[in-house]
Every structure is written in C-alpha cells, then in structure tokens.
Structure 1
Amino acid sequence: MSHYAVFGHPVSHSLSPRIHAEFGRQTGIALDYTAIEATPAGFAQALDAFAAAGGKGANVTLPLKEAAFALCSVTSERARRAGAVNTLTRNDGQWHGDNTDGIGLVRDLTARLGLDLRGRRTLLLGAGGSARGVAPALLDAGVSELVIANRTPERADALVDLLGEPGRAHSRYWNDLVNEGDFALIVNATSASRDGLQEFSLPFALAASRTLAVDLNYGEAAIPFLAWAQAAGCRDRVDGLGMLVEQAAAAFELWHGVRPDTAGVYATLRGKDASLVTAD
C-alpha cells in the first residue's frame, strides 16, 4: 500500500484523507493517506521523516506552501510561476513539486458551475501561498486584469513581480481599494476568518450585481466574506469546497495516472457536513 499525507498547521480539520480515500475506492487503488501536523520550523524534519517511512506523495496546506517550494529539487512550471507548492511527489529520492490550486479553482468555476472567466476584471485579496497558487491560473483563464491587494503591500508587490505580466497584473494598497471601481470577479485568498475575524470590511463599491465573489475557504470560514458579498449585491457567491475537491483530484492524477470523478465526492461533502470550516 502506498503512503500519502497532507501537511499543515493546523491540519486536524483537513478533508484530504477522506477525499483521497474515496478516490482510491473509486479507482481501485490501495493507498494510505494521513494528516501530519507540522509547524513551519519543523516542516523539513517532518517531511524527511515521512520520506524515510516510505511516503510517496503529499499535499501541503497553510502555512507551508512557500516552504514546500523551497524544499523541492524539481518544480513544475505552475509551481515556479506561483512560488508555492501544494503537491509533492517522491521521485528518485527527491521531492518534485507542483501546484494544483489554480487549476482546481478554475475547473470548479468553469466545469462544475459553467462560468466564463474570460474578460473579467479581477481583484485578488491576499498574497500568501493560496493566492500565489491561483493567480497564474486566473491569468491563464483569460481575466482581463488582475489587481492584487494585501495588508502587507510588499507581499502583493512580490507576487506581481513573480507573475511577470505588468500589463495585466498590478498591486494595490488595501486602503486605496475604495478608488478602484468595481470588479467582475473578486477572490478572497486571505486567512482573516481562520484568524478569528468575524467581519469582512471592504468598500461595497468594489462589487456590482454581476460580480462573481469567490472565497477559497468554505463553511464557517467563508461566511464573513460571502456575507459581505451578499450585502454588496453580488448575485453569484461561491465558496472553496469545490476547489478543494478539484485540486485534490489533480494531485491524485499526478500520483496515480488516473483522474477520479469529483462530482459524487463534492455532493457527499456538501450534503453531509454543514460544519466544515476551512480549505486546504
């Protein structure tokens, strides 16, 4: 039986073991998938121990995605464009890193929900590991402009520089967003709700009825941003559960060479667990 895991801090909430167990049942692939708690300071040691015990691959959640990138000997183009890794594969005694967050988000929005992202002026809130994972994919999906805002502006500047598309990707100070007009797509990649903030404060002028509001969190952690979006008049509001399932499917395919069905897994998680609180 092959051994896989998800690393994070905290990680007890993670749905990845349940999702990958179901994917294994679907495809007839025997695997063992566990959640491993690792702080940023202890991540490298924990990953070494996992590899020594026969670990074949791993997912990486907050706050370790940028640290995972630094520990890889080989990285995919997607990971290099993001500067962050959420999927690790053990090959020839080395870790190979990829990032499936962005393709997971785009697939959820376009394939499952039938939405068209092309030509949308887009605001991305946050510049950490999750934002880094989805930013390149949003550009590839055809958004007309990507404005990145972070409470630490240097992080937003660094992400824009990494993307290398000065004509389409720009950074803005958080407090200056009031002057930006409205957006057709707003993506929340911040951890404000997970950090205990119960209200999400942004100018309502950023949104209109046609604005698609997306939170990379789901369940209770998505409530503050999606409540703001509803109050701002956004008709379409989406949380991150679908993205979570889709990025997991992309990782599963990298490891096993077969893509599992995501619709049934998504429906089960959505229907049975109203208490789910955070996204990987």
Structure 2
Amino acid sequence: MNFSEQGGITGSTRILGIIGWPVEHSLSPFMQNAALRQLGLDWVYVPFPVAPELLGQAVAGLRALNVAGFNVTIPHKSSIIPYLDALSPEASLIGAVNTVKREEDRLVGYNTDCTGFISSLRRDLGLEPEGARVVVVGAGGAARAAVTGLCQESVSSLLLVNRTEERGEELIRRVRTEFPHIQLRSASLRSLQDGDVLASADLIVNTTSIGMGGSSFSGFDLSSMKSGGGVYDMVYVPAETPLLAAARGLGLKTANGLGMLAAQGEAALRLWTGAEIPADCMKKALLSMLDGGY
C-alpha cells in the first residue's frame, strides 16, 4: 500500500510549505498536495503565515526543523535572499526567490516562475518564444520573471511598457547586461496606443493585476496585431479578462496565468522530490477547485 492509498501523516512524512503574509489565499497547498497524492509520496505541503518582521526567525525555524523545501510568496520574494545560503542563476538575475530547497545543510533559493511561464506559453498558447517579437506590460516581480525567461529562450526583441517608464528602463538595463544580443527597450504605457507597436508583435504579455475583477486597459487596441499572434494574461481570476476576451474576439490565441501557476509549482515539486510530475496534474486540480467556487 502506498501513501496515497493509506492517507494521513506518518512518522516519516517529509514537510513542504509556503511562506507569505497573508498566505490564506494561496492555491499552492491544494495543487501541491493533489500532486503528492497522485505520486503516492509520504510528503505534505502546508501554509506558513509569516509576518515581515519575523521572516529571519521563520527561515531559521524552517532550517532547524529540517523542512525539505518551501515556496515564497508576497512580500518575502526579495527580502528572503539575505537569509539563504545560495541562489540559482535565475533567482540571482531576477532578484527574487519563489522556491527554496534544502540541499544537505544549505538553503538554496530558486525562481521557477521563469520556467513556469515559458512552459505555459508552449502548453497553453502553443507559442515557441525563440525569435518572437514580444511586448511585456508591467515592470514588477512577475515581469522580471517573464522577461528573464523570454530572453533565455532567445526572443528576437522585447519591448517593456509600464506606467512609470523609469522603472521599466531600470529592469531593461539589468537584463541587457546578460542578454546583449537581444533588442531590448522600454516605453510608457501610452505607447500601446500606437498601432505600429502592436502590429509587429507576435506576443503580448500582461504581468500586471489589471484585469482582476473585470477591470480593463484603456487605450489598448489589439486590432492591429497580425493573425496568429498571442495574448497572455497572468491574471487567472476571472478566467477570461477583458483583455483576453478582446483578443479572442479578434481571432488571436489567448491564455491566462493559471497554467503558469501550475507549471511553476510542478517545477518546484520536481526540484524538491526529484520525481517526474504528471503533465497538467496541478492545473487539473486548480481547475477543479476554481470550478467549485473557491
């Protein structure tokens, strides 16, 4: 009898988790435990609410308790870095950690948002990023992960647009040092009103929270995008934002961020357990949960 059949916690159960403040909204415990059950592993994934002023103590406690690994969410993705022993190249470049793995006596920080985003582009949008011309909206942590992942996949060009152009330029300068062969530039959000900007794009990625609760972009006209182009919105509630609805109405390929959430979770679980994660098992669990009115 494997663990998924016997159920419950044993004396040998390995512990995973997620730290954040707040953390009650997180979907990660649901999808990670669903995958652990499917794999039949004697592991469990639990939420740890950690206030910002207690972050150092919390990391020390997780280290002392021999926790196998944990995810990191807002507001700790950058502030956790001084408490870790090492960073992966992606986490170092992005300046943010969303996954921590115990490696012998060290805690190593990773960022699986990069691989999660690229995996979702391929699975959910059917788009191969190599050689693509991309417009990314936003300059926050999600944008840093998306831009890094896209550059690692050798996009042809990338335009970053943000309300505060200076913040966008700061991100572009940071990435340009690692990817000098890619055409990278930033512009204000107003530049999206220029039809030529979108006419040359193969892919538009929204990394902002615009779209949650049905809010929509103003002055964002997708009609100039060429046939076969794709629009990716990291917002996943609602499942179809006004941006995605407009894109679908124009015959463009569309995908929301649920696939990215699932894929980054798969990458994290693979890091921790070394197991091969069944394709889409986490996304199916998430869809089931959201369909149930979560």
- 1:1-280 correspondence to structure 2 within 5 Å: 1-111=13-123, 113-163=125-175, 164=177, 165-166=179-180, 167-179=182-194, 181-182=197-198, 183-193=201-211, 198-204=215-221, 207-220=225-238, 223-230=241-248, 233=250, 235-274=252-291
> 80-89 vs 102-111, which deviates more?
102-111
Moved more, 238-247 or 52-61: 52-61
Q: What displacement does 1:185 show?
A: 0.6
Structure 1: which 5+ residue stretches go unaligned?
A: none
CA separation of 1:217/1:39 partners in 2, compared to 1, >3 Å: closer, same or farther? farther
How far does the alpha carbon of each residue in 1:143-200 deviate from its partner, in whole angstroms, 9 at most, with x for none?
A: 2111112223333222212212354222212223334621211111112345x67222
Return the alpha-carbon distance in structure 2 between the equivalents of residues 86 and 122 of structure 1.
24
CA distance 1:275–1:37, change in 2 (3 Å): farther
State the distance in 1 between where 2:239 and 2:218 align.
Answer: 15
Cα separation, 2, equivalents of 1:25 and 1:16: 14
1:185 maps to a residue whose letter is L
Amino acid corresponding to residue 226 of structure 1 in structure 2: L
Contact in 2 for aligned 1:201/1:228 (Cα 8 Å): no
Q: Are the aligned partners of 1:156 and 1:171 in contact in 2 as well (CA < 8 Å)? A: yes
Q: 1:261 deviation in Å?
A: 0.5
Identity of aligned residues (%): 32
Q: CA deviation at 1:112?
A: 5.4
Q: Distance in 1 between matches of 2:247 and 2:82?
A: 36
Task: Please give the alpha-carbon distance, in whole angstroms, between the structure 2 residues aligned to 1:70 and 1:159.
Answer: 21
Partner amino acid for 1:109? Answer: L
What amino acid maps onto 2:204 in structure 1? I
CA distance in 2, matches of 1:276, 1:172: 39
Distance 1:43 1:69 in 2: 11
d(CA) in 2 for partners of 1:228, 1:243: 21
Which is further off, 97-106 or 113-122?
A: 113-122
Letter in 2 for 1:256: T
What secondary structure does 1:273 align onto? helix
Deviates more, 1:211-220 or 1:163-172: 163-172
| Helix, strand or coil at the partner of 1:220 | coil
- Label 1:222 to 1:111 Cα distance change in 2 as closer, same or farther (>3 A): closer
Task: Give the letter aligned to residue 7 of structure 1.
Answer: I
CA distance in structure 1 between the aligned counterparts of 2:210 and 2:152, rounded to whole angstroms:
27
Conserved 8 A contact 2:139-2:167: yes
- For the structure 1 residues 67 and 225, does the alpha-carbon distance in structure 2 shift closer, same or farther, using more than 3 Å as the test? farther
Tell me which amino acid in the other structure corresponds to 1:168: Q
